[in-house]
């Protein structure tokens, strides 16, 4: 999340993650929420919203490119070694296991949030 939030501004690397409109709105809202030290619940909800929009399946219009997906870009950067090659699959197993549980937790929290608000029928 830090990398995505930093890529919204003027990070020295100049790298920008390609974000959907919803993910960009969620990221900008989270940045505003984090400036206020009081409302922890709003920060948790804002963090969840950003993670949800990054992990949820995206509807693609027209031709798609794997570099249009922030999660795929992050995983590619994470897998890159100092020599410019990519790590072997066995070196990435643990991170993918962590992502599996992150996905489950995000979906569980999303279900909880939607259960609290029965009028919500679409992804916000």
Instruction: Report pLDDT for 120.
Output: 57
pTM summary value: 0.74
User: Which own/partner pairs from 112-115 qualify as long-range (CB within 8 Å, at least 24 positions apart)?
Assistant: 113/45, 113/48
pLDDT tens for each residue of the chain, 124 residues long: 888 888 888 778 888 888 888 889 999 999 888 887 776 777 888 889 999 988 887 676 767 777 788 888 888 888 999 998 999 988 889 988 998 999 999 999 989 888 887 665 555 5
Torsion of CA 30, 36, 42, 45, to 10 degrees: 30
Residue partners of 70: CB distance under 8 A and separation at least 6: 4, 17, 18, 19, 23, 54
Burial class (CB in 10 A: 0-12, 13-18, 19+), 49: buried
């Amino acid at each position: 999340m830090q990398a995505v939030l930093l890529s919204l501004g003027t990070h020295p690397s100049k790298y920008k993650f390609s974000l959907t409109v919803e993910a960009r709105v969620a990221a900008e809202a989270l940045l505003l929420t984090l400036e206020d030290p009081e409302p922890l619940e709003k920060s948790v909800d804002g963090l969840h919203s950003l993670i949800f929009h990054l992990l949820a399946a995206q509807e693609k219009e027209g031709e798609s490119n794997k570099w249009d997906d922030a999660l795929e870009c992050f995983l590619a950067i994470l897998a890159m070694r100092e020599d410019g090659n990519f790590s072997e699959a066995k070196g990435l197993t643990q991170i993918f296991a962590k992502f599996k549980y992150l996905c489950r937790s995000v979906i569980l929290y999303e279900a909880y949030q939607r259960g609290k608000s029965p009028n919500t029928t679409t992804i916000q």
